[in-house]
Amino acid sequence: MCIYAPSIMYSPGLHCLLSLDCPSELLLRNMEGWLQFIRPLLPEKGLRVVGEAAHQFEAAGFTVAICLEESHICIHTWPEYGFLTLDIYLCNYLKSNEEKVRYIAEKNVVYFAAKIRQQQELFR
């Protein structure tokens, strides 16, 4: 019986989950504004978008999933509660992308002038 035991432990990536309180109902309803904010931020950090799905709820928030070559970013907003969730995951296939995950998370906190309700980092 042969058991494969790599000499180097591979860490597939960092997954950051954020729950944010946002005082601006307008920002939480403005899907196009968020897309204009996030789209240039990704190539700035060397990330490549391979797909995008977005939905604006009538008289409410929005949900967006951006598929990246390195994985994904998803956002869901609830303006009626002043709340949003953000999910950022980047894999470490060729290099560590942990700094990029944290950078994107922090930029979103600033963009929404948000208070972090909950933040989890999962190393996959």
Domains and CATH numbers, the chain: 13-123 (3.60.90.10)
Tokens of 59: 């008289």
Q: Which of 71, 72, 74, 96 is catalytic?
A: 71
The sign of the dihedral angle between the CA atoms of 38, 100, 51, 71 is: negative
Q: Which 3-state string (H, E, C) describes 24-49?
A: CHHHHHCHHHHHHHHHHHHHHCCCCE
Give the HSE-up count for residue 121: Cα atoms under 13 Å, Cβ half-sphere.
9
Residue 91: active-site member: yes
> pTM for the complete prediction?
0.88
User: Which residues does residue 123 pair with via DSSP β-bridges, in sequence order?
Assistant: 14
Q: Which of 15, 16, 22, 91 is catalytic?
A: 91
pLDDT of residue 108: 98
Tokens of 20: 């944010």
- The predicted-structure confidence for 8-19, as pLDDT tens digits, reads as follows 666 788 899 999
Residue 71: active-site member: yes
Q: Which of 16, 19, 76, 96 is catalytic?
A: 76
